[in-house]
Amino acid sequence: MAPLFIALVHYPVLNRIGEVIASAITNLDLHDLARSCCTYGVPACYIVTPLADQQALSHRLTSHWIEGRGGEILPERREALKILKVVDSIASARQDVFARTGKMPVQWASTARKENGSLPHAAARKILEGDDRPFLLLFGTGWGLVPSVFDECDAVLAPIPGAGAYNHLSVRSAVAILLDRLLGGA
């Protein structure tokens, strides 16, 4: 079974009008992604932001639960948040996967948009089950990853199919659903 790493990318992503921005850290993204990753056995979840103040904010928000009083009250939250690692770029996340596993990861991206040639979730699950290379799955915040990031990925996962045309899940929900589809039990 291949280890699947997750990265929540705050740069480079698009804003509502298609500009490239660095989006802001959201406290509940950190908690929800950490808890989902811990549930599905993800070894590390990278919080990607090049902004020093946003990196400091991430550390402040998580240290309350890891070293501070929060972890005494809720030890299971400490366990989850320890999975997060703040890095300055996708390249740094890849280097960290290499440092942990000895291999550079296969890189996948997620998107809410229909793309030609996207990888169905059942096929992605089969690949993970039959591979021993590490995988890094990118999630974009804001209005999604910039096109050049998709170009650098080995595959783009199919969007999550709902009941109709509405495709505006929160990134917290999208991470939870995709981890369940790729790694969840019956």
* Site for a copy of itself, rule CB under 8 A: 16, 28, 31-32, 35-36, 38-41, 73-74, 76-77, 79-80, 120, 122, 160-164, 166-170, 172-177, 180-181, 183-186
**Cα dihedral angle (19, 21, 25, 31), rounded to 10 degrees?**
60
CB of 52 to a copy of itself, least distance (A): 26
CB of 134 to a copy of itself, least distance (A): 16
Could you give the CA distance from residue 160 to residue 168 in angstroms, rounded to a whole number? Answer: 10
CB of 65 to a copy of itself, least distance (A): 12
Pair of tokens at residue 149: 């990031």
Q: Please, which residue, 127 or 160, has the CB nearer to a copy of itself? A: 160
Q: How many CB atoms lie within 10 A of CB 79?
A: 15
Q: Please, which residue, 69 or 168, has the CB nearer to a copy of itself? A: 168
Pairing of strands 4-9, 45-48: parallel
Q: Please, which residue, 52 or 163, has the CB nearer to a copy of itself? A: 163
CB of 95 to a copy of itself, least distance (A): 25
**Phi-psi category of 95—alpha, beta or left, where left has phi over 0 and alpha has psi -120 to 50?**
alpha
CB of 54 to a copy of itself, least distance (A): 19
Taking a C-beta distance cutoff of 8 angstroms, is the pair 107, 138 a contact? yes
Taking a C-beta distance cutoff of 8 angstroms, is the pair 106, 154 a contact? yes
Q: Please, which residue, 52 or 165, has the CB nearer to a copy of itself? A: 165
Q: Please, which residue, 51 or 177, has the CB nearer to a copy of itself? A: 177
